[in-house]
Structure 1
Amino acid sequence: MNNRIINHPVLGEIKNRKKIPFHFNGQYYEAYEGETIAAALLANNIRILRFHEESGTARGIYCNIGHCFECRVTVNGCNNVRACITLVEENMDIHNGKRQPTPIKDLFKGENNI
């Protein structure tokens, strides 16, 4: 099943773009030149990009413009890369975002205002 827009009024036809190989959680996939990680993952039916710090619930793409940080993944060993604003590069090694501790919790340790 192809979830890509194959003929965009501004970007043109997808057939005119180069295919780029990448890996997500050890699996081989293909993106197209100029696609963000988020777009390439969605096109390959991948919806879960990380897990919530507190609850462990699945997270995916929310704002898709770089504001919310819900789409953080690990790219070539670098944690917390926003998938929605990072372009896929050839042979990128991407993993779902690791469940990180919540930084805010430590700021209010011992206070009763939370």
Structure 2
Amino acid sequence: MAGGWRGSTRKATLPRDWSKIRAQRLAIDGFRCTHTRVDTGRRCVERATDVDHVGDRADHRLSQLRSKCSWHHLEKSSREGGDAATKWAAIRAREQRAARKHPGLR
């Protein structure tokens, strides 16, 4: 995992045989990052150090995992975290607006 496990609770959600699953995915992908640039279609040439979930974080099937270099894994995780933070901020703002009473209706 990019940046290590410090401060993360993620490790507790992984299956007991995660190291075996991780090793299998890395071998399938030739120990090479699977990130492909959208603009050129070229695959990253860096060595894969991380295994990333394609969709559901709880789905540990090999078909739902991809090998990533630490840079691309961190970039994807950061983007997803930013997207989630934006989503939750919008929800909180909407809830706060709904909770406010119209001054003329008090």
Could you tell me the TM-score, scaled by structure 1's length? 0.29
Q: Greater helix percent: which structure?
A: 2
Which structure has the bigger radius of gyration? 2
Could you tell me the TM-score, scaled by structure 2's length? 0.31
Q: Greater strand percent: which structure?
A: 1
